[in-house]
Structure 1
Amino acid sequence: MKLKIPGIETIDRYIIAKFLGTFFVSIALIISIALVFDVSENLDEFLSKDIPVHDIIFDYYLNFIPYFANLFSSLFNFIAVIYFTSKMAYNSEIIAILSSGVSFHRFVRPYMVGAAIIALFSYVLGDYIIPPANKTMVEFKDAYIKNKRNSLENNIHRQITPGTYIYMRSYNTSNDVGYKFTIERFEEGNLISKLSADFIKWDRERKVWEINNYFIRDIDGYKETITTGTKKDTTLNMVPADYVTMANMAETLALPDLNKEIESLKLRGINTIEYEVEKHKRRANPFSAFILTIIGVSLASRKVKGGLGLHLGLGILISFSYIMFMQISTVFALSGSVPPYIAVWIPNFIFGALAAYLYNRARR
């Protein structure tokens, strides 16, 4: 006995099954090809560094799969719609459906159900599965391939708490030492204390900062107090990890952590554009499933000369145009030319307008 869902008829189940089946088979094929190329590219390095097979499979390749599945989801969502809809049009199935009294709007409904499933798939991957997977993959590369940590630039200026600012001429990540350290505290815009030191060092056992060769100037109205010393332990709202960057760190954070990191970076006066772009991309990408599905079904639902080949050619051209627009808009966002929340959505606005035009044209 088949489960009946209200509003979902036999033709709907047929289209949804064709849509999702084609999509997931296409994704599986491209991931298989990507895995083969990646293994061939990295095999010598894996062997030369004697990396355990368990780590290669479970720390690297198992986390490689969801990233590539999401990366190519927009492309193969579109190609899947073009492919099976063109076959239906070529076999005159669409003509038969529309001739039976089904409107084009009603015909598109199961496509939207399929697009919603793919959008949900992309959302869950992007927000909750890929970030921890990326983190494990980056840690694998750092441990076995890159073997290095990246320090921030010199001349570091940070706000560590409201009204408290620190400065370091440079920070050495290998021994957790910051040179020419200064900390300033303000109240109502007035400087009340300034500490200067030759260097500051993190004590890894006691989890405190050691301030060495320091000079403190406390200000109370017109009164100033000077204190000097050779060594002083203190706790500050910062840790050595704040001065080490992980490659593509924004991609390793789940959405709640990403939001917290953006707020933390803003407090410390650090540029957050990369993180904000990542945040808005995770919102914009799932919507592309609906837009590209409408474009695909509107293009491929009519039987034309050239058939499947013409439709697939158009589909690939539009898919790569969409991906190109995504890359260009990301560059604009990262350069600061356009706010991230606008730049990331530009491709969806442009292709959404194209989808509306093609849909109205296909209905006639």
Structure 2
Amino acid sequence: MKILDWYILKRYIFTFLMMLLLFIPIGITVHLAEKIGKILENEVPFAEVMLYFLDFTIYFAHLLFPLFLFLSVIWFTSKLANNTEVIAFLSSGVSFTRFLRPYLIGAFVVAILSIVLGLYLAPSASEGFNDFSYKYLKKGRTAVENTNVYRQLNDNDIIYVSSFDVKNKIGRNFVFEHFEDNKLVYKIDANNIKYIEEDSIYRLTNYVKRKVGEVNDIIEESKSKDTIFSFDVDDLTPVIYIAETLGYKELNEFIEKEELRGSSNIGRYKLVKYRKWSLPVSVFILTIIAVAVSSIKRRGGMGVNLAVGICIAMVFVFFDKIFGVMAEQSDFPPVIAVWFPNFIFGILALYLLRNAKR
């Protein structure tokens, strides 16, 4: 690599890191100011608070990676343009494509970092962030996926709960039905089902088991019944954020299992899966757009470039959110919802790059 490449690459990485160091503390301060009352009210241990904000940092840094990068590239490239350094580079015989190379190398480094965060660090941070939120900040609320959950576990077993309290691991109005050769063999009803984690058992309240006989049914009743089931506690109803807390391999297995059960939330889970790969790609697209927009010296200076960049960033976020909601709430394909913004902005990047070369 030549001096020009190292010069731009160092500015690329340094400005991006500085952007993270500037905005993340601001985000933490605003979030802390909003939640400090509930944290003090619930007397949260200091160690848990610090761990929560570490998870908060990783969680949101991963989500906003492309936007932080986009603004940082516009910032330092605009400074190069205002100092006529870009003109000097291009006037020396360097083509615009050659000028873009160190930016793409920097984008590759950031994309690798985004993949590592998405596959390994972000899932753990998401779990810690959401668990803390529901434990202390959203007290009285539960991370319930939905009510009236009906699930077919396999060819023979079906379960139902009207609601599920994730914090206390309690399901209400529990029903378990076992079939053989399409005939009901027995049915279990209970007002509540509670998972006892220490003993890995389920405790049923007002337990009633009806075995279907050829002539008469056999009924077994008990005020409380401890038993074991073949399903996991998450099978009752996964929490809203469960897909975000799983590693890539576990997420694929979870999606496959949920598809077999006919889950109505497959779109949400697949969005999380596809975004692990769409975010790194968006890093390259937004880098090209940022360079094409900010490498021109304008009469208004850096302010104009930043204004244009912020507008593009807001449109990108709008597309990402609107298509994400469509995939979650309808049958809109998640893969299209995730990749369509990249496709549109990829075309925009090629158009701007073509004009920038001129």
For residue 195 of structure 1, what is the amino acid of its counterpart?
A: Y
**Rg (Cα) greater in structure:** 1
Would you say 1:30 and 2:35 are equivalent positions?
no
Report the equivalent of 2:100.
Answer: 108
Report the equivalent of 1:5.
Answer: none
Does the 8 Å CA contact 2:175/2:189 hold for their aligned counterparts?
yes
Which of 217, 229, 242 is 2:212 aligned to?
Answer: 217
Report the equivalent of 1:321.
Answer: 315
Does the 8 Å CA contact 2:285/2:346 hold for their aligned counterparts?
yes
Which of 212, 221, 229 is 2:219 aligned to?
Answer: 229
Would you say 1:118 and 2:110 are equivalent positions?
yes
Question: CA 1:233 to 1:337, structure 2 compared with 1: closer, same or farther past 3 Å?
Answer: closer
> TM-score, normalized by length of structure 1?
0.86
How many pairs are equivalent?
347
Does the 8 Å CA contact 1:27/1:76 hold for their aligned counterparts?
yes
Question: CA 1:180 to 1:73, structure 2 compared with 1: closer, same or farther past 3 Å?
Answer: closer
Q: Secondary structure at the match of 2:212?
A: strand
Deviation of 1:116 after TM superposition, in Å, equals 0.9
Does the 8 Å CA contact 2:62/2:114 hold for their aligned counterparts?
yes
Q: C-alpha offsets along residues 326-348 of structure 1, whole Å, 9 cap, x if unaligned?
A: 11111111122420001111110
Would you say 1:46 and 2:39 are equivalent positions?
yes
- What is the CA–CA distance in structure 2 between the aligned matches of 1:239 and 1:268, rounded to whole Å? 14
Question: CA 1:26 to 1:295, structure 2 compared with 1: closer, same or farther past 3 Å?
Answer: same
39-48 vs 26-35, which moves further = 39-48
101-110 vs 245-254, which moves further = 245-254
Q: C-alpha offsets along residues 108-146 of structure 1, whole Å, 9 cap, x if unaligned?
A: 110000111111122211221111112112222333333
Report the equivalent of 1:3.
Answer: none
Deviation of 1:151 after TM superposition, in Å, equals 4.6
Which of 153, 174, 182 is 1:191 aligned to?
Answer: 182
Report the equivalent of 2:270.
Answer: 276
Would you say 1:168 and 2:160 are equivalent positions?
yes
For residue 97 of structure 1, what is the amino acid of its counterpart?
A: F
Report the equivalent of 1:334.
Answer: 328
Q: C-alpha offsets along residues 261-313 of structure 1, whole Å, 9 cap, x if unaligned?
A: 21222233222111111111221111111001111111222223222221111
Would you say 1:130 and 2:122 are equivalent positions?
yes
Question: CA 1:158 to 1:13, structure 2 compared with 1: closer, same or farther past 3 Å?
Answer: same
Q: C-alpha offsets along residues 163-222 of structure 1, whole Å, 9 cap, x if unaligned?
A: 123143635656846646242435xxx51443223438567346267694333337xxxx
For residue 287 of structure 2, what is the amino acid of its counterpart?
A: T
For residue 21 of structure 2, what is the amino acid of its counterpart?
A: A
Report the equivalent of 2:234.
Answer: 241
Would you say 1:295 and 2:285 are equivalent positions?
no
Does the 8 Å CA contact 2:177/2:186 hold for their aligned counterparts?
yes
Q: C-alpha offsets along residues 58-117 of structure 1, whole Å, 9 cap, x if unaligned?
A: 2x1111111222232222211121121122122222222222222111111100001111
Which of 4, 7, 32 is 1:14 aligned to?
Answer: 7
Q: Secondary structure at the match of 2:114?
A: helix
- What is the CA–CA distance in structure 2 between the aligned matches of 1:68 and 1:277, rounded to whole Å? 17
Does the 8 Å CA contact 1:182/1:196 hold for their aligned counterparts?
yes
- What is the CA–CA distance in structure 1 between the aligned matches of 2:230 and 2:48, rounded to whole Å? 35
Does the 8 Å CA contact 1:85/1:301 hold for their aligned counterparts?
yes
Q: Secondary structure at the match of 1:196?
A: strand
For residue 85 of structure 1, what is the amino acid of its counterpart?
A: T
Structure 1: unaligned runs, 5 residues or longer: 1-7, 219-223
Q: C-alpha offsets along residues 17-63 of structure 1, whole Å, 9 cap, x if unaligned?
A: 111111110111011111111222222222222211121112x1111
- What is the CA–CA distance in structure 2 between the aligned matches of 1:292 and 1:206, rounded to whole Å? 48
Would you say 1:349 and 2:343 are equivalent positions?
yes
Q: Secondary structure at the match of 1:344?
A: helix
Alpha-carbon RMSD: 2.6
Question: CA 1:144 to 1:234, structure 2 compared with 1: closer, same or farther past 3 Å?
Answer: closer
- What is the CA–CA distance in structure 2 between the aligned matches of 1:129 and 1:281, rounded to whole Å? 15
Question: CA 1:217 to 1:32, structure 2 compared with 1: closer, same or farther past 3 Å?
Answer: same
Report the equivalent of 1:72.
Answer: 64
Structure 2: unaligned runs, 5 residues or longer: none
| Percent identity between the two aligned chains | 35
Report the equivalent of 1:311.
Answer: 305
Does the 8 Å CA contact 2:211/2:218 hold for their aligned counterparts?
yes
